[in-house]
Amino acid sequence: MTSATPITTDLQPVTGSTRRESAPDGSKKPLHTIALLVRNAPGVLVRVAMVFSRRGYNIESLVVSPGAREGFSRMTVTCSGDPSILSQMIKQLTKLVDVVHTIDHTSTDSFETEIALIKIRCSGEERREILQIAEHFKAKIVDYAAESLILRVYGGSDKLDALIALIPKENIVELVRSGKIVMARALEKT
């Protein structure tokens, strides 16, 4: 019988881009949030993604989940691109066969949230500082190891951005964000 070799991983810091895309002139492109109600059918996601791709929009996040009615799904797309072509793109999305309706939530009165898991390398004094930051943002520690911990935090994108900005980049080993989910307030169409 062979003895099991423990699996070890060398925790490396995460390097990556910010949540907002920079334009060639250095300015930041605005983020748009678009909700789609679609029929639950093969190929719908590809057709929707192609509309964004053809118009030069970058999909920052995409969340797909079952809708309130059986046989339908809800897509929430956060994207960045030229605002002048957004209305044209929404019209094209609405014309797709499996799309029931499309709503731009960018400037509507709506509730939005997202969730993030953040694996952080920390020990000693660093751990104490991270725990204070986590407490301030009401983040929950879901894994506590000797040299790392994992935080789960939810709320608006700005809240998650602020929390992540306070953690030294070299300490962030892994970061996963769910993407924004959004719903219009009151009885407005979603």
Domain-wise residue ranges, the chain:
31-108, 111-184
CA distances 178 to 62, 79, 101, 114, 126, Å, are: 8, 14, 23, 6, 26
Q: In CATH terms, is domain 31-108 a member of 3.30.1520.10?
A: no
Which run of H or of E encompasses 119? strand 110-121
Task: Give CA–CA dist 64/70, Å, rounded.
Answer: 14
**In this structure, are residues 32 and 108 in contact, taking their beta carbons and an 8 Å threshold?**
no
Q: How many H helices and E strands in the chain?
A: 4, 9
Domains 31-108 and 111-184 share a fold: yes
Whether the per-residue pLDDT at 178 is higher than 80: the answer is yes
**In this structure, are residues 31 and 60 in contact, taking their beta carbons and an 8 Å threshold?**
yes
pLDDT at 16: 36
Task: Give CA–CA dist 114/24, Å, rounded.
Answer: 28
- Which class is 111-184 in CATH? alpha beta
Q: Tens digit of pLDDT for each residue in 126-174?
A: 999 999 999 999 999 999 999 999 999 999 999 999 999 999 999 999 9
Task: Give CA–CA dist 188/64, Å, rounded.
Answer: 20
Q: Tens digit of pLDDT for each residue in 26-82?
A: 456 678 899 999 999 999 999 999 998 888 888 989 999 998 899 999 999 988 877
pLDDT at 29: 67
Task: Give CA–CA dist 34/42, Å, rounded.
Answer: 21
Task: Give CA–CA dist 74/67, Å, rounded.
Answer: 5
Report the predicted TM-score, pTM, of the whole model to 2 decimal places: 0.71
